[in-house]
A and B are shown apart, each in its own frame.
Chain A
Amino acid sequence: MSRVSQEGSLQSQSANSQRRWRADVYVTLKPVVNDPQGLAVRDGLHMLGYDEVGAVRAGKYIQVWLEADEEAGAEKRVAEMCDKLLANPVIEQYRFNLVEQAHDEAE
């Protein structure tokens, strides 16, 4: 997103604001939780002849775009989001990677 500045030149709207990040969040069932979806996929792979497949677990991949001054700050906020909403701590665990975004990168 961009806008025309008073001087008339194009300037990124967030040029003077915080750094932008993309969190790639992986939510999976805890190992103790039975995963019938994973079992069904495993059986499907066996049917296709992939006998080498031992186990399959299915989970969720969630991308979150956010702003934060520092990576540590972004990390803290995303962990909070995971604890409060993105994962249910009773049944799920999560991990995530942070990727810094260029300002013109589309979301």
Chain B
Amino acid sequence: MRFGVITFPGSNGDHDALKAIELGLKQPVEAVWYRDTSLDGFDCILIPGGFSYGDYLRAGAIARFAPIMDAVADFAQKGGPILGMCNGFQVLTEAGLLPGALLPNGSLQFRSQWVHVQVERSDTPWTSHIDDGTVLKLPIAHGGGRYFADPETLARLEENGQVIFRYTDASGNRVPDANPNDSLNAIAGICNEQRNVVGLMPHPERAFDAIIGGDDGMKVLSSVLDAGIAAVTGR
């Protein structure tokens, strides 16, 4: 399975993602420059963390217009698996590929720490290896991860089971202290209606080996191997 990792000016998690796929998953992976306009030949796409375009105006607001984004929208529309991590999640919401928006943390502080998230649904290409209800330990590093959607959108997300990751304590309890940014409904990650596009604020690609503090991220990244691709690229 061939992975693509998109690099925007200001991305800083692109090499974390490349290494996680190369060393952790041992799959072919290639960086995709933001000026490129094609994703031909890729089976799945990672949009990494960082500060694309310096987070100017709003996080992800300018990256959304990068030349590669038309191909990303096309890839999503064809059902290709896309995972947006941290800034990647922000880019996907700004691009309208995922509903809602990410606001500055309630604390107004940048949060860099390990958190626990409960996986609520295994019916996405990025969680298919994970039993519903599993709690993962993943790192976060963001200043703007407070998930927001209007009440109707929020209700629809809950109804459709589009909330994929939720902040909990280590035992899976939804306690206020476990929500590091005051996200509505303690939402850490969601998917689109077709379920192929997933975004989350935590960094699975920074948790691919016990030697760097944890390897729960591998459960997310390896799930896509079973997604039965070739649908997008025809390879």
Contacts and interface: CB of A to CB of B under 8 A. Distances in A.
Interface of A: 29, 32-34, 36-37, 40, 85-86, 88, 90-91
Interface in B114-144: none
B182 A34 contact: yes
A36 B94 CA distance: 21
Q: Report whether over half of chain B's contact residues are helix, strand or loop; otherwise say mixed.
A: loop
Contact of A37 (B65, B94, B104): B104
B108 A90 contact: no
A58 B106 CA distance: 14
A29 B58 CA distance: 12
Contacts of B106: 34, 36
9 contacts: A36-B106, A36-B182, A40-B108, A86-B57, A88-B58, A88-B61, A88-B94, A90-B100, A90-B149
A37 B105 CA distance: 10
B69 to A, nearest CB: 13
Nearest to B109: A36
Contact of B57 (A34, A37, A85, A90): A85
Interface in B170-184: 182
B182 A90 contact: no
Contact of B150 (A36, A88, A90): A90
A39 to B, nearest CB: 9
A85 B108 contact: no
A36 B104 contact: yes
Which of B94, B103, B108 is packed against the most chain A CB atoms within 10 Å? Answer: B103
Contacts of B103: 29, 33-34, 91
Contact of A33 (B61, B65, B107, B148): B148
